[in-house]
Structure 1
Amino acid sequence: MEMKNIVFTDQMMKNHPYDEKTGLLNVTPEFDLTYATDEKLGFIFSPDMTIFRVWAPAASKIELILFHTLYGDGAEHIAMNQVAPGTYEIDINRNLDNVAYNFGVYYPDGKYTETVDPYAIATTSNGERSVVVDLLTTNPENWSERMPPFTATTDAVIYEASVRDFTMSESSGAKNRGKFLGVVEKGTKSPNGLPTGLDYLKELGITHLQLMPMYDFQTVNEENPEEKYNWGYDPQNYNVPEGSYATDPRDPKTRIREMKQMVQGLHNAGIRVIMDVVYNHVYDPDTHPFERVAPGYYFRRNEDGSMSNGTGVGNDTASEHAMMKKYILDSVKYWAQEYHIDGFRFDLMGIHDVDTMNAVRDTLDEIDPSIIVLGEGWNLNTNLPENKRASSINARQMPGIAHFNDAMRTAIKGADMGGGFDPGFISGKPFMEQWIAINQQGGLYYPQDIAGYQQPDQIVQYVEAHDNHTLFDKLAINMAHDDERTRTRRHLLASTLAMLAQGIPFIHSGQEFLRTKQGEENTYNLPDEINMIDWERRDAKQKEVTYMKELIRLRKSEPLFRMQDTLDIAKHMEVLQADYYQIVWQLENETDFYYIIFNGNGDPRYFSIEEGNFELLVHDCTVTLDNPRMWFDTDEIKVEGFSTTVLHKKK
């Protein structure tokens, strides 16, 4: 749109949307038609001039505050021009690279507040001031274009980790422990001399590393991060890397450069990066720039003016509003283009609306259609009609967007809530077999009153994530009298049920070596000692790690385990049995034939098979792909208790 300076008249002020009684905008259905803008917001940098533009429909006047130094008190206050209803702009004709700025907001009732730029891409420590940066100066050496497009979403093997947890333990052998750079240090080893960190991920064979929040979050002191722990689901500045993960949080460019170095190092290792994004709520809405530039707009409100609270943390963002939708789209586009991010995991995705999530998919398709979009499609009680929520029940409305399949997770190990006492298939709960088998078919025959999955690329298959008890700790609750061998076998069986299912497999960091958080269920703010990866435990569980590594190899080696369409699943996969703690299915195409048998009983079971010379690829908690045992000319196979058997033959 053409931008023109606007001079306020008394009549315009009389019709101003800011309600002086409530201190909120009067957001009517027509509000966006008058005030929304499609202009680029934030700053537009060039060496000779920087344009600042902010959307602040509640303001009667906006000042640009240019600080003389990053951390000093001196500042220059410059009135901005209203160039469209609610949009303010100013051009500064000098080089402002690495200059701190904020906005001063004057409301019609005479109130005043100062805020960081909602579109800030760099800040001083702890996100207190926005900073102009020349992004070209933040690029690492040999910073190149994006990786080539990924093959297919169902080819992915996703591994979830926290930047901090991954290398915080001394046992990681990393120099930059808990930092972006620590994730990609090469040659790190545990005290026992085994590879850790990046080298370990390469050996494991994952395709995508999903990193928990690494944008700027609020409750960790960036200048002293070890004084307090937090996962980072407390957003402060959405488009700024988290300073506690940088080697120098006081230098605005360091965190940008080092996050790019991390992405670059992972890409060079053949591993793509999925970013955990939390657009559904902010940590403190009252002090967040959303509320300071547009009070009452960016958050859903109930009829009494209170904030909708489907998130459970006191506020839900209003993605159905044009400028919140624009913000989400601008943000994912920025991360994908500037940082070469390969996927986005949407926290509490069910808070958002279907149209916005489809627009996210469309926006990213223009950059790279193989960018993965996945999220938590829980149907949460937010102030938005259920048929418009981006929940799993509405998955049919969102092609190309994946949802965490909590239904299979719960069937396998039991519900996570309420102390974790509910058992599942692996811990003796009856009648879970058919439900697990249905879920393993990747959307084929899926009951649409449970979830609207249409294709396998819409289903994330998992048994453990950062939330709730780890699988090992839950088994310790459910099956307290198990010996170590039995608990391990149940654990491996659970992981295999998810890893070999049709869909997108997902592994929580440490799951492959039976990660424990000392029995704690919700560790979002517990100390490093509880949350950090224990690499010595990995060393002690090498057999289990090898099992998962070889399962990944098996899945990647055979397209039948990662079909891309439910029509192919219907053609090539058949469930033969699902009862009495036993699930049996076969995979078959023109050249290969597989039996996949899951035994949830504690003792061996025998299964009828067709006669032939079969390779025994998985058996008795061991995967053997290179020199498999043979099962010769017999019509029966013995499957050990709490284990999986996979048989293969060429046709």
Structure 2
Amino acid sequence: MKLNELALIGVATATVVSCAPAKNEYASYELYPVRSGSLTEMEYTPEVTNFTLWAPTADEVRLMLFDAGDGGHAYETVSMVSDKEGTWTAKVEKDLIGKFYTFNVKIKDKWLGDTPGINAKAVGVNGKRAAIIDMRATDPEGWAQDKRPALASPADAVIYEMHHRDFSIDPSSGIQHKGKFLALTEEGTLSPEKLATGIDHLKELGVTHVHILPSYDYASVDETKLDENKYNWGYDPQNYNVPDGSYSTDPYNPSIRIKEFKQMVQALHKAGIRVVLDVVYNHTFNTAESNFERTVPGYFYRQMPDDSFADGSACGNETASNRPMMRKYMVESVLHWLNEYHLDGFRFDLMGIHDITTMNEIRKAATAVDPSIIIYGEGWAAKAPQMPEDSLAMKMNTYRMPGIAAFSDEMRDALRGPFNDNHKGAFLAGLPGGEESIKFGIVGAIKHPQVDNDSVNYSKASWAEQPTQMISYVSCHDDMCLVDRLNASIPGITPQELAKLDKLAQTAVFTSQGIPFIYAGEEVMRDKKGVHNSYQSPDSINAIDWKRKAEYADVFAYYKGLIQLRKNHPAFRMGDAELVRKHLEFLPVEGNNLVAYRLKENANGDAWEDIIVALNSRKEPAKLVVPEGKYTVVCKDGFINENGLGTLYGSEVLVPAQSALIIYK
């Protein structure tokens, strides 16, 4: 998520960010009582429903019961009773199934306003009221038998980042449930050219993980007006523990969104694909009116020295992961998605706002469920958070967070150019200077004797302890997609050059020792009409046009071939820093815009004895000196064939212009 998107999302908070948090009898936030056990706020049985809200600074708390998820007034108001550890409790001895509820907290003669609580697990339309449902009734048939697809190592992951609407909304998708969770359950969907789309396309491509953009209940799309087709990426959290209603077929029925989300996960698991959820615990959509602030004012957010809200997210607030109840909340939320929805991983937005201890606690909790769950995030913040940098989950501190990965903007920008200038190119544009940063990415951001960190663009030291702590990518949702970036940064680029350089970029990504990550649709040369930040753009900008799969069949085949090459050859995914240092050797090259390396001595048990990868962004072929031998060519001129594209002999090879060459002994 980037600043121009953030600033717009933050408009709703602009009038409240300077409000000082409420003060009370506790001398500091560190002295607030911590609720033991689960943070569950509603426990239902047909005989009795128990409500528990943590609100240690409240003078009074009311529970309101409603017949509907929106409109009308409460049919009953229940006074809650102050209890231990800062909680307030109420017991309703009747069957409340199908009803809705809110809490209202009073502090110093002021009622703060209705909230579904901070921990609602089901909500009505637009998430303003929590719902009382039977969670087991939301399980699709066979849910108890649902299993995560096998994943031996995070090095084996291939991540595909997508937005529900982008992926399925275009008429060319052939998908019935366009823009919905259920779009990813439909099999046999075809483009007009009779090529696979949807979940069948993902299987054909060979990805192991689908990373879905934020799919919890977010604020910016009015679920009562879905015919307006209002678009958002979802980085504006409202209720963290409930799927968003705009992706369900009925946002008014609290059970439907939950069941359909589970059906999506189940279908992807059956297809052999894991599911990663993009989570945005670093800020909330609004501040004064947020569920957090209406429950325990000030506690869940960090403050500036003058008591105004800190704003490391550039959205009007930053959450205080370092405070015990916020940390506990984040850990429990992650566990809820893992256990209730069978998710397989998380991508943390602006992870650098969170403290290292909290991220390590989350990793520990996830590992206890399943060690193969992957966790990665943006190792930066939008502005400086209100904590010392050495205590935050910033990219430079990744080595202190085992089992957690960060995105490598070093490799990304060395390939295509800096984020802050769409029109400036880099290696792909034939500009010199990015080679060392690309090498930094190829080894997975670890220490390597042949990487000169003084010449790396953003990091003057390695930050990953293991290569699987680096996400390797060249573009993602919140930036120009790769096609647009190449068009913008290389004036006069021809369609042929565009396809060649697109393939070259992804060869660097998929042969790197980090975890490869691609943006949905790049495998069919998706463009977004040059829009850099499309978080509110219409479908005409964001939708994937599936007719491109036929038009760019060679590009799709190349991406598919890269993924298969990586899967078939463990040399490209060693997953261990010592193995990378032992087996990955950069080859000397003359001049700029050429990077070459050798994976030697049957690296990581690979059947191929020596593998050489050369990346040439020059407009002319490049000579490369290699160890003497007989080599089989498996990647050349934009084609991949593991059975061989020819044979080379001797100690010198020619790397074709603006493309990659991969050969092996």
| TM-score normalised by the chain length of structure 1 | 0.93
List aligned pairs for 1:354-503, cutoff 5 A.
354-379=356-381, 380-418=383-421, 420-445=422-447, 447=453, 449-450=460-461, 452-503=463-514
How far apart in 1 are the matches of 2:25 and 2:527? Answer: 48
Q: Which residue pairs with 2:99 in the alignment?
A: 99
How far apart in 2 are the matches of 1:155 and 1:478? Answer: 32
How far apart in 2 are the matches of 1:473 and 1:23? Answer: 44
Asked if structure 1 preserves the Cα contact closer than 8 Å seen for 2:399 and 2:463, the reply is yes
Query: Which stretch shows the higher mean deviation, 616-625 or 197-206?
Result: 616-625
SS in 1 for 2:58: coil
Asked if structure 2 preserves the Cα contact closer than 8 Å seen for 1:427 and 1:479, the reply is yes
How far apart in 1 are the matches of 2:462 and 2:95? Answer: 53
Q: Which residue pairs with 1:574 in the alignment?
A: 585
Q: Which amino acid aligns with 1:179?
A: K
How far apart in 2 are the matches of 1:279 and 1:302? Answer: 19
* Superposed displacement of residue 94, structure 1: 2.7
Q: Which residue pairs with 1:530 in the alignment?
A: 541
Asked if structure 1 preserves the Cα contact closer than 8 Å seen for 2:359 and 2:393, the reply is yes
SS in 1 for 2:610: strand
Asked if structure 1 preserves the Cα contact closer than 8 Å seen for 2:566 and 2:573, the reply is yes
Q: Which residue pairs with 1:37 in the alignment?
A: 35
* Superposed displacement of residue 33, structure 1: 4.0
* Superposed displacement of residue 148, structure 1: 5.4
Q: Deviations over 1:257-286 (max 9, x none)?
A: 000000000000000000000001111112
Tell me, yes or no, if structure 1 residue 606 matches structure 2 residue 623: yes
| Cα distance change, pair 27–483 in 1 and its aligned pair in 2 (3 A) | farther
How far apart in 1 are the matches of 2:67 and 2:158? Answer: 48
SS in 1 for 2:555: helix
How far apart in 1 are the matches of 2:166 and 2:27? Answer: 45
Asked if structure 2 preserves the Cα contact closer than 8 Å seen for 1:149 and 1:369, the reply is no
Tell me, yes or no, if structure 1 residue 332 matches structure 2 residue 344: no
* Superposed displacement of residue 442, structure 1: 1.4
Tell me, yes or no, if structure 1 residue 584 matches structure 2 residue 596: yes
Q: Which residue pairs with 1:51 in the alignment?
A: 50
How far apart in 2 are the matches of 1:568 and 1:327? Answer: 38
SS in 2 for 1:64: strand
Asked if structure 2 preserves the Cα contact closer than 8 Å seen for 1:166 and 1:183, the reply is no
Q: Which amino acid aligns with 1:642?
A: Q
Asked if structure 2 preserves the Cα contact closer than 8 Å seen for 1:333 and 1:363, the reply is yes
| Cα distance change, pair 110–312 in 1 and its aligned pair in 2 (3 A) | closer
Q: Which runs of 5+ in 2 are unaligned?
A: 1-18, 454-458
Asked if structure 1 preserves the Cα contact closer than 8 Å seen for 2:504 and 2:658, the reply is yes
Q: Which runs of 5+ in 1 are unaligned?
A: 1-20
Query: Which stretch shows the higher mean deviation, 55-64 or 244-253?
Result: 55-64
Tell me, yes or no, if structure 1 residue 315 matches structure 2 residue 326: no
Q: Which amino acid aligns with 1:588?
A: K
How far apart in 1 are the matches of 2:84 and 2:180? Answer: 42
SS in 2 for 1:290: coil
How far apart in 2 are the matches of 1:148 and 1:488? Answer: 33
Query: Which stretch shows the higher mean deviation, 310-319 or 608-617?
Result: 608-617
Q: Which residue pairs with 1:648 in the alignment?
A: 664
Query: Which stretch shows the higher mean deviation, 421-430 or 593-602?
Result: 421-430
Q: Which amino acid aligns with 1:204?
A: L
| Cα distance change, pair 424–298 in 1 and its aligned pair in 2 (3 A) | same
| Cα distance change, pair 494–28 in 1 and its aligned pair in 2 (3 A) | farther
How far apart in 2 are the matches of 1:312 and 1:421? Answer: 25
Tell me, yes or no, if structure 1 residue 630 matches structure 2 residue 641: no
Q: Deviations over 1:78-112 (max 9, x none)?
A: 11121124211122223322220101211123434
SS in 2 for 1:382: coil
Q: Which residue pairs with 2:209 in the alignment?
A: 208
Tell me, yes or no, if structure 1 residue 160 matches structure 2 residue 158: no
| Cα distance change, pair 552–491 in 1 and its aligned pair in 2 (3 A) | same
Q: Deviations over 1:586-641 (max 9, x none)?
A: 0023452111111111111122233433221111111012x312314333222110
How far apart in 1 are the matches of 2:504 and 2:447? Answer: 24
How far apart in 2 are the matches of 1:285 and 1:338? Answer: 28
List aligned pairs for 1:84-95, cutoff 5 A.
84-95=84-95
Q: Deviations over 1:123-160 (max 9, x none)?
A: 11111210012110000001124425521111100000
How far apart in 2 are the matches of 1:94 and 1:485? Answer: 69
SS in 2 for 1:122: coil
Of 21, 24, 37, 2:22 maps to 24
Asked if structure 1 preserves the Cα contact closer than 8 Å seen for 2:478 and 2:532, the reply is yes
Tell me, yes or no, if structure 1 residue 593 matches structure 2 residue 610: yes
Q: Which residue pairs with 1:177 in the alignment?
A: 178
How far apart in 2 are the matches of 1:431 and 1:127? Answer: 50
* Superposed displacement of residue 449, structure 1: 4.3
How far apart in 2 are the matches of 1:493 and 1:120? Answer: 46
Tell me, yes or no, if structure 1 residue 60 matches structure 2 residue 65: no
Q: Which residue pairs with 1:556 in the alignment?
A: 567
Tell me, yes or no, if structure 1 residue 617 matches structure 2 residue 629: no
How far apart in 1 are the matches of 2:105 and 2:662? Answer: 65
How far apart in 1 are the matches of 2:646 and 2:486? Answer: 33
SS in 2 for 1:114: coil
| Cα distance change, pair 562–28 in 1 and its aligned pair in 2 (3 A) | farther
* Superposed displacement of residue 378, structure 1: 1.1
| Cα distance change, pair 415–253 in 1 and its aligned pair in 2 (3 A) | same
How far apart in 2 are the matches of 1:633 and 1:462? Answer: 33
SS in 2 for 1:544: helix
Q: Which residue pairs with 1:16 in the alignment?
A: none
How far apart in 2 are the matches of 1:609 and 1:265? Answer: 47
Q: Deviations over 1:41-72 (max 9, x none)?
A: 22122333222111112311111111134444
SS in 1 for 2:286: coil
* Superposed displacement of residue 75, structure 1: 1.9
How far apart in 1 are the matches of 2:25 and 2:620? Answer: 64
How far apart in 1 are the matches of 2:241 and 2:100? Answer: 16
Q: Which residue pairs with 1:517 in the alignment?
A: 528
Q: Which amino acid aligns with 1:567?
A: E
Q: Which residue pairs with 2:191 in the alignment?
A: 190
How far apart in 2 are the matches of 1:635 and 1:106? Answer: 79
Q: Which amino acid aligns with 1:584?
A: A
Asked if structure 2 preserves the Cα contact closer than 8 Å seen for 1:149 and 1:368, the reply is no
* Superposed displacement of residue 179, structure 1: 0.2
SS in 1 for 2:368: helix
Count matched residues: 627
SS in 2 for 1:374: strand
How far apart in 2 are the matches of 1:174 and 1:533? Answer: 12
SS in 2 for 1:289: coil
Q: Which amino acid aligns with 1:641?
A: A
Q: Which amino acid aligns with 2:438?
A: I
Q: Which residue pairs with 1:124 in the alignment?
A: 124
SS in 1 for 2:505: helix
| Cα distance change, pair 488–343 in 1 and its aligned pair in 2 (3 A) | same
Asked if structure 1 preserves the Cα contact closer than 8 Å seen for 2:149 and 2:272, the reply is no
How far apart in 2 are the matches of 1:317 and 1:451? Answer: 28
Asked if structure 1 preserves the Cα contact closer than 8 Å seen for 2:213 and 2:278, the reply is yes
